[in-house]
Amino acid sequence: MLNFIFIKSTNFGDAINQTFWEKIININIEECNRNKIHFITTGSIMSLINKNSIVLGTGFISENNDIGGDNMFSNTNQLINKPYSILAVRGPLSRQKFIDNNIYCPEIYGDPLILFSCIYNKFTNIEDNIVGIIPHYIDIDSDKVQLLKKNLENNNYKVNIINIDTGNEYENFINQINQCKYIISSSLHGIIMGLIYKKQTIYLEFSKKVIGDKFKFNDFFGSLNIDYNYNIDYSINILNNVINIDYSRLNKLGKNTDYLGQQINFQQKRTYKSTYHFGKCPKTSFWYQREYNGYATHWCDGGCGYILSKRAMDIIRNRIHIDTIHKTHIFEDLMVALLLRKERIVPTKIPYIVKTHVQSNYTSFI
């Protein structure tokens, strides 16, 4: 049974976690005691991590959000708890906070809900001038929402206000998005849903009440190299401020799990000397009593096990020179890392409880 930490909420981005993961990996999951190893994923809930947390796509809610400490909204910029492992974070700003606190974090980005169309694969192409406004739940009664709606309607646009407080009843929520040509939102997951269902999506601030200002938006945009010009305008002109997204980058997010290991050996220097193999090689070996003195990089320890994707295996097979490899490499695990590094593939740590199996079209962690 997989263990997850969930936020009790009717807000879509929090409430949908259990349903989303159960459908993605086709395994029942449960909210667990935080004293057990657990996954912490969708939402801006990084401050809830503890020593048992496996980070899988979550992010910080603000620049000064604490790392751990149980208070989701604590903004004292302290390191309170280190996670057990980090598989991926929402974006580069969240990663930088870990790096600034000397915590290893792979350069693997993506809010898990970018995969939402995998569980609800319904797209529409709306040509009519229909605008969906998705306020952050804290903005639902904002006068600015009504002002925008009025100004758009006065210019012959049909406007639907879409409530993001859906709980886990996602179909009606996505159906309403699909009935629109434009999506305007002050909610991060309103923005994400607009983008993945390929609507002309616009961020617009309706109040100063959303915690963290634009940190989580910049974090997510950074994962896709989106340079967005924030504009506060409640007139029809806001429809010109559409987020420009390269969907080829979106399709690549979360696909950097080519090289996973249960222990990563960190090597800061480019060269590495070792006599670890002394006493283990026969006298006929090229490496008998010969010190290894060659290139190095971060590598997954072979003694603890590692997992390679088919892509990684193909890269290794194509780069190995059979006639000379026995003279250039003595350590198979370091050799793998060096070959993959040439394709900018770096190791990602997974916890000792993890094993993998292929189910449907997804690799699930159990």
DSSP string, 49-90: --TTEEEES---SSTT--BSSS-TT--S--B----SEEEEBS
Indicate the pLDDT class of residue 57, thresholds 50, 70 and 90: very high
Q: What is the mean pLDDT of the chain?
A: 87
Q: Find the mean pLDDT for residues 221-226.
A: 94
Indicate the pLDDT class of residue 255, thresholds 50, 70 and 90: low
137 exposure class (CB count in 10 Å sphere: 0-12, 13-18, 19+): buried
- Residue 25: what pLDDT? 79
- Residue 6: what pLDDT? 80
215-223 vs 92-100: helix axis angle to the nearest 10?
A: 100
Burial letters for 274-294: b for 16+ Cβ neighbours within 10 Å, e otherwise?
A: eeebeeeeeeeeebeeeebeb
Q: How many angstroms separate the CA atoms of 318 and 128, rounded?
A: 51
- Residue 46: what pLDDT? 92
Q: Find the mean pLDDT for residues 12-36.
A: 84
* pLDDT exceeds cutoff 80 at 296: yes
CA dihedral 276, 280, 286, 288 (to 10 degrees): 80
Q: Find the mean pLDDT for residues 218-231.
A: 95
Q: Which residues pair with 38 in a beta bridge?
A: 53
Q: Find the mean pLDDT for residues 23-43.
A: 82
C-alpha distances in Å from residue 84, one per residue of 95, 108, 247:
15, 17, 32
Dump pLDDT digits (tens) for 116-159. 988 898 888 888 899 999 999 999 999 999 999 999 999 999 99
- Residue 355: what pLDDT? 43
* pLDDT exceeds cutoff 70 at 362: no
- Residue 365: what pLDDT? 33
Count of residues in the chain:
366
Most confident stretch, 55-69, 176-190, 265-279: 176-190
- Residue 153: what pLDDT? 97
| pTM assigned to the model | 0.73
Q: Find the mean pLDDT for residues 60-65.
A: 94
* pLDDT exceeds cutoff 50 at 357: no
Task: Give 312's contacts (C-beta < 8 A, 6+ positions apart).
Answer: 258, 259, 340, 345
Of the candidates 138, 158, 140, the one whose C-alpha atom is nearest the C-alpha of residue 149 is 158
* pLDDT exceeds cutoff 70 at 289: yes
- Beta-sheet pairing, 292-295 with 271-274: antiparallel
Say how many C-beta atoms besides its own lie within 10 A of residue 54's C-beta. Answer: 24
Say how many C-beta atoms besides its own lie within 10 A of residue 76's C-beta. Answer: 10
- At 174, which helix (H) or strand (E)? helix 170-178
* pLDDT exceeds cutoff 90 at 342: no
On whether the CB atoms of residues 12 and 192 are closer than 8 A, the answer is no
Percentage with pLDDT > 70 across the chain: 92
Domain limits, the chain: 2-111, 116-252, 259-349
170-178 vs 188-196: helix axis angle to the nearest 10?
A: 60
Dump pLDDT digits (tens) for 163-194. 999 988 899 999 999 999 999 999 999 999 99
What is the CATH code for 116-252? Answer: 3.40.50
DSSP 189: H
Phi-psi region of 78 (alpha: psi -120 to 50; beta: other; left: phi over 0): beta
